[in-house]
A and B are shown apart, each in its own frame.
Chain A
Amino acid sequence: MTMATETGAPVDTTKTALQVTDLIKQFGGGRSLLGRPLPAVHAVRGLSFEVRPGEILGIVGESGCGKSTVARMLVGLESPTEGRITLREEPLAEPGKPIKRTVLARKIQYVFQDPISSLNPRKTIREILSAPLYYLRGMTESQRAERLKELMAAVNLRPEFLDRYPHEFSGGQAQRIGIARALAAEPEVLVLDEPVSALDVSVQAQVLNLLQDLRRQFNLTYVFISHDLGVVRNLCDRVAVMYFGRIVETGSTRALFDNPQHHYTRLLLDSVPGARDGTLPDEAANAELPDPFHPPTGCAFAPRCSAASEQCRQSDPELDTRRQDGQQVACYHPAGESAD
């Protein structure tokens, strides 16, 4: 079944492009030379989600919630400690198996947050964009020249920019070059890690519109990671909210923004300055994340949550999969039902 999404692009809801199952990532850990266990940071603590072909899945969360670690695992820059990632039922990452990075890179590509630092200062744009064409697509020189022109046209940059160096570009132009490099590998899925957060708003709009156009033009699927709720609302079809390494709520963009169920999602939305009814949440000083070396047994948000009960501190709620509308929430006392 194909249906038009909120953003107007066709999404095949019966198929799954990218599937992530029980993903866990720990940094550090292991044992010292003397056999003592070393502390491990629990960055991602059991994550499952799926992305449908042609869809934009937004992952939102604040710093330290593990959203960038998820992104890096999706493209193979980190390997998961546990769990698996599959693309169209083909396994991409499994624990204990080495990452086949070139295989992966032809299917999933990455757009970095900082457009300038993701471009080597000593290489021309031509050299930077040629690398994936040569190493991943094995193109000859004449094929590459042709494709470079197409890529520059696709991201609205003049072809004479090819022989310039990164420092000659503004942030917005550099980010378009970053997108062109990701497109060069002809991937099915683009993982975008805060691609517009380093840009000014007027330039941000240019890049976001470009991303919309490219998705339609090349039938792309996006995983869009951001902390900017306004951007997510206007770009994404579905959203997953992360807190301390887990997804606490997921659903269609409209449902999630209009009717947030998790108390953290509500707090996030109420915290956006100048939005909603114009009043910010209470000035509670406790906004600190739990210790990532020793994650709590219960819900990580419980210390900040007004609805927290003893149950919340004892055990961590799983994402509720029973709901019909596709909106899922990991909470014992969801906000919508807290009245009874």
Chain B
Amino acid sequence: MSRFMNISNALPLARWFGHRHSRTSPLQLLLRNRLAAAGLIVLIAVCILALITPWLPLHHPNQTALGNRLLPPGSDGHLLGTDHLGRDILARILWGTRVSLSVGISATLVAATVGSILGILAGYFGRHVDNILMRGIDMVMAFPYILLALAIVAVLGPGLLNALYAIAIVNIPFFARNVRGVTVTLRNREFVDAALLSGKGHARILLTEILPNVLPVIVITMSTTVGWMILETAGLSFLGLGAQPPQADLGSMLGEGRRLISTAPHVATIPGLMIFLLVMSINLLGDGVRDALDPRLKAGALRRPAARTRTAPAARQQPTGEPKGLLEVDNLRTEFHLDGQVHQAVNGPTFHIEPGECLGIIGESGSGKSVTAMSLLGLVASPPGIIQNGQVNYQRQNLLGVSDPVLRGYRGGELAYIFQDPLSTLHPLFTVGDQLVEALRAHRPLSYRAAWQEAVRRLEEVRMPNAARRAKSYPHQLSGGMRQRVSIAMALANDPQLIIADEPTTALDVTVQAQILKLLNRLREQKQASLMFITHDFGVVKQICHRVAVMYAGEIVEIGPVEEILARPAHPYTRRLIGCVPSVDYEGGRLAEIPGLPPQVSNLPVGCKFADRCDQVTDQCRAAPIELDTLNERHQARCIFAREVSA
């Protein structure tokens, strides 16, 4: 079931918190990470010490005093002792840190500048420019980098500046490759085309459109490589190719102390500790910077959602009395808790599905229709999702309260899902036949061979041409319509009682959509299964649903038989939503529009949620929550004027 979990994670997160939620600043994110904050504090302390070193009351770092050779730490006047020439280690450490830090940072800046320029040019212009630049980079990467650095220093001659060049050159590929990758994706974004059409030239687009979007990546790469660069500088100095005596540098101090490791261990240990402290603090900070800036991590890729949605005790109670229909949903409330805000996505819809019935759930994006569907089997990602209240009653059990194994048995068994985008629900590395076999064997004790035969039969059932051969193909080898057929075959694999289809035809072309709708309807009739069909399209509802529930801001505003609602909508929202849809059958003149936007689910009004956009609004509408008004046995609407409107 892991692939279902993935989509349940991605969908609502993107839709609810995509771009409108308040952003936490990167600095806050960084400081919330304790390790990164500790790294930042240590690094700031080291940097301040290195900066004020010239004004500290220290010995001269190169002043030799052979009488004071190898004094241990804590000696009078030499806090950290002296080395084999009697030089004060404290002074040398601080001066050495200055050198190592400045060489490491300069090398990073040089590598970042050159590497980013190469990467941006290669990624933006592509084709030949990309080929030439990136093959050059590949050549640099083909050598083990420390050997390459050694070779460069050998040619240029030993010395700190040459070590800096060597390290910078060796690190250019890291920047070039990272930046190129990001630039390629940005190049294909539409805002670059838009800038071209605004009359901007390529140079200007690179500087003003691409670069600001690449900067976070450059900063991330810098923060994760500067530690390496300091280590590499120390390495070259250790080998005697970097800092030349008598100049102090952490690497050369380590190299000089190495020979005395048994007689005076502190001479080597202290610079070693300093390198450790410096690189560790930089790496911790670098990881923190990456976590704070990387959009992929920010979107919650690191947050592993639980196997089922967190459910409050209020929602876990056993049903009282006889449940209605095949599946009954009662006062379901699902919330997302994010950044200290509560987003009330689902606000108490109550409905049931009869055996063999097709119930449509229609609503615009953000109306809570998908979250409602996913809440039924606990597929909403937690965190941040939580089911606060309500019941989902199936066979006298509240599905929100059953144990994990029981729930797992229902998922993909008696209760099956079909999602909008089969490309992201099907696993790209397994053949569709294998995935069907997995779905079958998860619920039934079948041998692989028997399951494969069953899988082919299921593919034939969804009218997949050449089913036996197509079972061996991978999802990417099939067209969108064929993939959706595979998803349907998977949902039907274990003869479900209820199929929950979440916009299964939205991503498809109209001729393919027609076929899938026909297929679903035929299978529902053949199998006597119920279908819960989530959509935003009234045409689809009219085509295959018996009853429809209209959702707005997490509430059902109207529910009833399809013909009745289409002919006499009782809620102003339903009426106006139908009026918005341009018909293919006739020209309607100017389209009716609904002004304004739906309310934010983090700040819902007390009264009618549609009041701000309604042309019939009165003070009474805003005063208190509006209850569903029963118009007849099967038709209800959440409007105080429902009887007048529908009359």
Question: Which residues does A use to contact B, with CB under 8 Å?
Answer: 6, 62-63, 75-77, 101-102, 105, 109-110, 112-114, 116-123, 128, 131-132, 134-136, 166-168, 170, 172, 178, 181-182, 184-185, 200-206, 208-209, 212, 227-231, 233-235, 253-254, 257, 267-276, 278, 280-288
In order of increasing CB-CB distance, the 7 nearest A-B pairs are: A135-B199, A274-B539, A274-B542, A271-B514, A62-B509, A118-B190, A273-B543
Residue B518 interfacial (CB < 8 Å): yes
CB <8 Å contact, B577 and A201: yes
Q: List 11 A-B contacts (CB under 8 A).
A: A110-B193, A120-B213, A201-B364, A202-B576, A205-B592, A254-B587, A270-B514, A274-B538, A280-B514, A286-B465, A287-B515
Interface range for B: 35 or more
CB <8 Å contact, A234 and B196: no
Q: With the chains together, A105 CA to B212 CA distance in Å?
A: 25
Shortest distance in angstroms between B544's beta carbon and chain A's nearest beta carbon? Answer: 8
Contact (A273, B590) CB under 8 Å given A77-B193, A135-B198, A231-B582: no
Shortest distance in angstroms between B342's beta carbon and chain A's nearest beta carbon? Answer: 21
Which residues on B sit within 8 Å (CB–CB) of A102? 199
Shortest distance in angstroms between A55's beta carbon and chain B's nearest beta carbon? Answer: 16
| Chain B window 579-597, contacts with chain A (Cβ cutoff 8 Å), 1 for yes, 0 for no | 0111111111111111101
Shortest distance in angstroms between B410's beta carbon and chain A's nearest beta carbon? Answer: 30
CB <8 Å contact, A280 and B587: no
CB <8 Å contact, A273 and B191: no
Name the residue among B20, B200, B537 with the largest chain A CB count within 10 angstroms.
B200
Question: Which residue of B197, B536, B581 is within 8 Å of A230 (Cβ)?
Answer: B581
CB <8 Å contact, B510 and A206: no
Shortest distance in angstroms between A21's beta carbon and chain B's nearest beta carbon? Answer: 23
Q: With the chains together, A206 CA to B592 CA distance in Å?
A: 8
Shortest distance in angstroms between A158's beta carbon and chain B's nearest beta carbon? Answer: 13
Question: Which residue of A75, A110, A205, A281 is within 8 Å of B593 (Cβ)?
Answer: A205
CB <8 Å contact, A227 and B509: yes
CB <8 Å contact, B518 and A283: yes
Shortest distance in angstroms between A185's beta carbon and chain B's nearest beta carbon? Answer: 7
Which residues on A sit within 8 Å (CB–CB) of B196? 77, 101, 105
CB <8 Å contact, A206 and B593: yes
CB <8 Å contact, B581 and A273: no
Which residues on A sit within 8 Å (CB–CB) of B198? 105, 131-132, 135-136, 181, 184-185
Which residues on A sit within 8 Å (CB–CB) of B589? 234
Shortest distance in angstroms between A287's beta carbon and chain B's nearest beta carbon? Answer: 5
Name the residue among B19, B189, B194, B517 with the largest chain A CB count within 10 angstroms.
B194
CB <8 Å contact, A230 and B583: yes
| Chain B window 512-543, contacts with chain A (Cβ cutoff 8 Å), 1 for yes, 0 for no | 11110111001000000000000011111111
Residue B115 interfacial (CB < 8 Å): no
Residue B262 interfacial (CB < 8 Å): no
Which residues on B sit within 8 Å (CB–CB) of A118? 190-191, 193-194
CB <8 Å contact, A170 and B597: yes
In the complex, which residue of chain A has the Cβ closest to the Cβ of B592? A205
Name the residue among A6, A167, A231, A273 with the largest chain B CB count within 10 angstroms.
A273
Q: With the chains together, A200 CA to B465 CA distance in Å?
A: 35
CB <8 Å contact, B515 and A284: yes
Q: With the chains together, A110 CA to B194 CA distance in Å?
A: 8
CB <8 Å contact, B582 and A6: no
CB <8 Å contact, B583 and A105: no
Q: With the chains together, A229 CA to B537 CA distance in Å?
A: 13
Which residues on B sit within 8 Å (CB–CB) of A274? 537-543
